[in-house]
Amino acid sequence: MTLAPNMHSKPLAWWKKATAYQIYPRSFYDTNQDGIGDINGIIAKLDYLADLGIDLIWICPFYASPNDDNGYDISDYQAIHPDFGTLEDVDELISAAHKRGIRIIMDLVINHTSDEHPWFIESRDNKNSPKRDWYIWRDGCEPTAEKPTCDPNNWESIFHGSAWEYDKKTAQYYLHLFSKKQPDLNWENPEVKQALFKMIYWWLERGIDGFRVDAISHIQKQPGLPSLPNPKGEKYVSSFDYHMNVAGIEKHLHELKEQAFDPFNIVTVGEANGVTADNALLWVAEATEHDQGGVFNMIFQFEHMKLWSEEQSNVPLDLVEFKRILSRWQDALEGKGWNALYLENHDQARSIDTFADPTSRYASATALASCYFLMKGTPFIYQGQEIGMVNHQFTSLDEFNDVSARNLIQKLSQQGQSDADILALLNQVSRDHSRLPMQWNAQDFAGFSEVQPWFSVNQQYADINVEQQQKDPNSILSFYKQLIALRKSNVSLVVGRYQLLLPNDPNIYAYQRVAQDMTWTIITNLSPQESIVDIDRMQLGELMLDNQNINNEHVRSDFIATQIAPPYAAYIFARKH
């Protein structure tokens, strides 16, 4: 067997073996009874995470922020929002995690700041401010009743409405790809980069283990900021083509890597909307003797997810397409880079509702888990996914918290859509579904807090919670634990090459992980129909784990004899060579 010289000769990086867990701190666990999750709440649950088998935690922003986008609008990178605690609490969290062998990565939000950040306040003050050019200011004219839009161009914000905000004080507009309280930093200005790199150093010297790098594919804008073609004559035009993974971004990314990341031995995961399997290597190739490689250790790609989607998602999953996308990523990075594997995060509705069937919750959750978790890459679990948390049923439009949902409601109402239609849409796609409090037990407020939490609690918490699932060997939580343990104790599940089986089967996602001494076969039925699995049974070997529970009792699977997979069945086989 020939080994790719760039990878297998090196010892396996710790983060390749790791299982990662994402925390949305506002909704994880409240220890001081103000209804808001806090840093001490993360510390309090470290034993839970260690017991689950987690090695790496990514925590969403807990910096000072006016909370327009729940912390993704930062007003001081080096201060902690008092809702969450203090810097000392963060130091304590880092050391308490490290004691348990768990590493911590933080969210690095450097495409934009809050409009309340001192840099922006200074920038906004006057046209000759030394920080004027730290943000993106352009001329336009003052909006009036006759001429309501005279923005510098026709770009639509990712959070709906114009991407420009008029600022009376200096009679210019500033660019904000996200909310108007998130002005974009100007990455063409070297001072901006130096200020950001200095801040990154400060955090790394505090002992954190790396970063998830927010919205980083948006830092380069189309030079000249031209308007988009507008054949439909829309007010604003979806502008991703002119600010997402735009040519020229590489130079900024390499500076970030060389000047801020390389001096430290850390792990980095870029959020890379718009990066496709074809250009992935620019982002995540491992360095070789001849090539400096990419920028991040891994990226979150979005090709298999609908990010910022406004479309009704009640069309069933196109499994053949889903397999094609994920397999392209697996193949493109084989021996050259590393995947970050995920189905959920704080920007997505819950995966059971999006990809499977919430009426068969156990089977759906465990089949989805088996399917994505054992692909080649580092698996990420989003808080609550490990207990099969599902979407909330919102009953009125004022219940939504997310700034992007609120802007969408305004936009669709103006376009004449009924409240009922907008509610139905958001009940499927809203980011708020994943931001409800974590469900720890069946007590009031799901054991998240003793007081009314900052946000609604999912109606189903009495049936879906950690405490109950810890007691039950056939729970979703127990299944996740087994999956994590299986991957931890079998390096072949970390290094084995991915090979898709049955590419055109519309119901079955089956693949192998082929290593030197072992071949794993993972078979999942991701459909509500019973399906025959057309795989040579001699290839399978021993059944290591399956999700065949009936009335909460594990039943012996007769899959090998029948090769019939019930709806949302999952089987994991291993064969020694």
> Quick one: what does residue 214 bind among Ca ion, ligand GLC, none, with the CB cut-off 5 to 8 Å set by partner type?
ligand GLC
> Quick one: what does residue 386 bind among ligand GLC, Ca ion, none, with the CB cut-off 5 to 8 Å set by partner type?
none
The least CB distance from residue 431 to ligand GLC, in Å, is 7
Helix residue ranges per DSSP H, 278-350: 280-284, 319-333
Tokens 């980083």 belong to 216
> Quick one: what does residue 36 bind among ligand GLC, Ca ion, none, with the CB cut-off 5 to 8 Å set by partner type?
Ca ion
Considering only residues 95 to 114 of the shown chain, the ones binding Ca ion according to CB under 5 A are none
User: Nearer Cβ to Ca ion, position 25 or 152?
Assistant: 25
- Tell me the residue number closest to ligand GLC, measured at CB: 72
Give the H/E segment covering residue 531: strand 531-532
User: Nearer Cβ to Ca ion, position 43 or 343?
Assistant: 43
The least CB distance from residue 70 to Ca ion, in Å, is 15
User: Nearer Cβ to ligand GLC, position 42 or 219?
Assistant: 219
CA atoms within 13 A on the CB side of 117: 28
The least CB distance from residue 439 to ligand GLC, in Å, is 21
DSSP 223-240: TT-PPPP-TT--SSEE-G
355 with 317: CB under 8 angstroms? yes
Q: Give the Cβ contact number of residue 537 at 10 Å.
A: 12
DSSP 27-77: GT--SSSSSS--HHHHHHTHHHHHHHT--EEEE---EE---TTTTSS-SEE
The least CB distance from residue 38 to Ca ion, in Å, is 4
Question: Contact positions toward ligand GLC, by CB under 6 A?
Answer: 69, 72, 109, 178, 214-215, 271, 346-347
User: Nearer Cβ to Ca ion, position 36 or 104?
Assistant: 36
User: Nearer Cβ to ligand GLC, position 83 or 286?
Assistant: 83
3-state secondary structure of 405: helix
194 binds Ca ion (CB under 5 A): no
User: Nearer Cβ to ligand GLC, position 214 or 344?
Assistant: 214
32 binds Ca ion (CB under 5 A): yes
123 with 135: CB under 8 angstroms? yes
Active-site residue set: 214, 271
438 binds Ca ion (CB under 5 A): no
The least CB distance from residue 72 to ligand GLC, in Å, is 3
68 binds Ca ion (CB under 5 A): no
Helix axes 361-373, 476-489, angle to 10 degrees: 20
> Quick one: what does residue 241 bind among Ca ion, ligand GLC, none, with the CB cut-off 5 to 8 Å set by partner type?
none
- Report the alpha-carbon distance of residue 444 to residue 462 in Å, rounded: 9
The least CB distance from residue 79 to Ca ion, in Å, is 17
- Nearest alpha-carbon partner for 523 in 485, 486, 559: 559
DSSP 121-154: HHHHH-TT-TTGGGB-EE------SS-----SS-
Beta-carbon contacts of 528 under 8 Å, excluding residues fewer than 6 positions away, are: 357, 360, 567, 568
- Report the alpha-carbon distance of residue 330 to residue 339 in Å, rounded: 7
30 binds Ca ion (CB under 5 A): yes
Both tokens of 218, joined, read: 């948006």
> Quick one: what does residue 347 bind among ligand GLC, Ca ion, none, with the CB cut-off 5 to 8 Å set by partner type?
ligand GLC
> Quick one: what does residue 250 bind among ligand GLC, Ca ion, none, with the CB cut-off 5 to 8 Å set by partner type?
none
Q: Which of 25, 38, 367, 461 binds Ca ion (CB under 5 A)?
A: 38
Which residues contribute to the site for Ca ion (CB under 5 A)?
30, 32, 34, 36, 38
